[in-house]
Each structure stands twice: as C-alpha cells, then as structure tokens.
C-alpha cells in the first residue's frame, strides 16, 4: 500500500470520527490533550504514530509534545493490546500477599514478560501499581472484571478459561 492509500484508509476510519467529535466538543484546546488521547485510545485500543500526528495537527501542538505526553503516562499504549487483558495488582498489600508469584507463574506459563502481549495477540499481561482494592489482595482484573483474592493457580485457571471461551466464540 502506498503512503497515500494508507492515509486515505486512515482518514476514512470510522473510529476517527469519535476522536474528531471529542476534539470539537473540547473546542480544539491544546489544554485538552490528555482527554483527547483518552478518547483516541478508547476508540482505537492504542495510539499509532499517525493518530498522534493527526491529533497534534488538530490541536495545533508540536508533534513532539503530543508524543511526549503519550509516552509519559503509563495509561497510553503505543502498541496494540491483546484480545484478553490481564492486569495483576502489585501494590504493597498485594505484594506482601504474593502477587509476585502470580506474575512469575503467568510469565512462565504464557512465555511473555509483564507489559507484553503474546505472539498470537491473544493475551496481554500487565501489572498495576495499585488498583485500590487492597482488601481483596492479591487481586487482579481480567478484561475489566475484578477478581480476588487469588493464587497463582486460580489465576492461571481464570486466564485459561477466558482464552478458551474466546476461541469457542470464534469457531
């Protein structure tokens, strides 16, 4: 695909409309950059370089600043996320109750490091600094559902189950 074709495809992307609408609502104020990035990430799942460039143009900001903000905050991801997203809380309460063990086990089992996505794009494993549910320690979220208290084994079962359910739907 040539550059021009790619640009055309990007400009026609319906998800871009959501982002455009958000920017219009916020009156293209440069101050609203973080809100716009939130909307963009929600729509696309991640922030591509051309999306960032487009936002920079609309908000009249240097591209470097938009890129700087997008990489400064942990929440924004410049790479696509997996189909299923498992986030292990590694806050203090979870840590002292064995969150580290859960992370190691999942890393071994699915052959990836925390913060990565499996090669087949099925699972992303992440850690969070504290999800604020310390009474459930050690806790985690799997596709936005909160689970806790968990052990390495029970987490493994949860993740496997989620992956299997996903493949059932596909077949």
Partner 1 sequence: MNRAELNELAEKEQQRSDLLKLRLLVCCGTPCVAAGSYAVVNALQQYIDQHNLAAELELTGTGCLGPCSRGPLLTVIRKGEAELVYEQIKPQQAVLVLEALLAEKPVPQTNLLPADFPFFARQKRMVLAGSGRIDPESIRQYIGSGGYEALAQLLHEMTPEEVCDGVVASGLRGRGGGGFPTGLKWQLVNKGSSSRKFVVANGDEGDPGAYMDRSLMESDPHRLLEGMAIAGYATGADQGYIYVRGEYPLAAKRLQKAIRDAERHGILGSRVLDSNFSFRIDIRIGAGAFVCGEETALLASVMGRRGQPRIRPPYPAQSGLWGCPTLISNVETFANIPAIFNISPAGFAAIGSGKSRGTKVFALCGDVVNTGLIEVPMGISLREIVYEIGGGIADNGSFKAAQTGGPSGGCIPASRLDTPMDYEHLHELGSIMGSGGLIVMGDKNCMVDVARFFMEFCLDESCGKCVPCRAGTIEIYRLLTRFCNGSATATDLENLHSLCRMVSDTSLCGLGAAAPNPVLSTLRWFKEEYEAHLYERRCPAGVCNMNKLPLHLMATELLNRVNASQVAGEGF
- Min CB(169)–partner 1 separation in Å: 24
- How far is Cα 108 from Cα 48, in angstroms, rounded to an integer? 29
131 binds partner 1 (CB under 8 A): yes
- Tell me how far, at minimum, the Cβ of 13 lies from partner 1, in Å: 23
Token pair in block for residue 104: 């190691």
Report d(CA 93, CA 134) in Å as an integer. Answer: 6
Among 69, 78, 112, 156, binds partner 1 (CB under 8 A): 69
Nearer to partner 1, 35 or 122 (CB): 35
Choice from 72, 101, 111, 115 touching partner 1 (CB under 8 A): 72
The verdict on 75 binding partner 1 (CB under 8 A) reads yes
Figure out which of the listed residues 74, 79, 111, 160 binds partner 1, where binding follows CB under 8 A.
74
Bridge partners (DSSP) of residue 125 are 86
Q: For partner 1, which stretch binds (CB under 8 A), given 3-11, 29-37, 114-122, 159-167?
A: 29-37
Q: Is 43 in the site for partner 1 (CB under 8 A)?
A: no
Tell me the per-residue interface mask from 137 to 156 with partner 1, x by CB under 8 A, - otherwise: x-x-----xxxx--------
CA gap 23, 92 in Å, rounded: 38
Give how far the C-alpha of residue 106 lies from the chain's centroid of Cα atoms, to the nearest Å.
18
The residue to which tokens 């052959």 are assigned: 111
Closest CA to 124 of 92, 93, 86, 89: 86
Distances (CA, A) of 158 to 93, 135, 141: 21, 20, 10
Largest CA distance in the chain: 54
Q: Is 35 in the site for partner 1 (CB under 8 A)?
A: yes
Instruction: List interacting residues with partner 1 (CB under 8 A).
Output: 29-35, 37-38, 65, 68-69, 72-76, 90-93, 95-97, 128-137, 139, 145-148
């Amino acid at each position: 695909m040539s550059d021009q074709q790619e640009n055309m495809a990007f400009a026609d992307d319906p998800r871009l409309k959501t982002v455009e609408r958000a920017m219009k609502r916020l009156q293209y104020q440069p101050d609203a950059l973080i809100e716009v990035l939130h909307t963009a990430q929600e729509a696309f799942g991640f922030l591509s370089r051309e999306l960032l460039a487009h936002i920079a143009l609309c908000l009249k900001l240097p591209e470097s600043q938009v890129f700087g903000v997008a990489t400064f905050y942990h929440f924004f991801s410049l790479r696509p996320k997996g189909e299923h997203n498992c986030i292990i809380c590694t806050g203090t309460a979870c840590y002292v109750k064995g969150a580290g063990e859960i992370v190691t086990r999942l890393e071994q089992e699915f052959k990836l490091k925390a913060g990565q996505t499996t090669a087949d794009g099925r699972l992303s494993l992440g850690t969070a600094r504290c999800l604020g549910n310390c009474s459930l320690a050690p806790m985690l979220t799997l596709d936005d559902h909160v689970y806790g208290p968990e052990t390495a084994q029970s987490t493994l079962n949860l993740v496997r189950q989620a992956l299997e359910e996903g493949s059932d739907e596909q077949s």
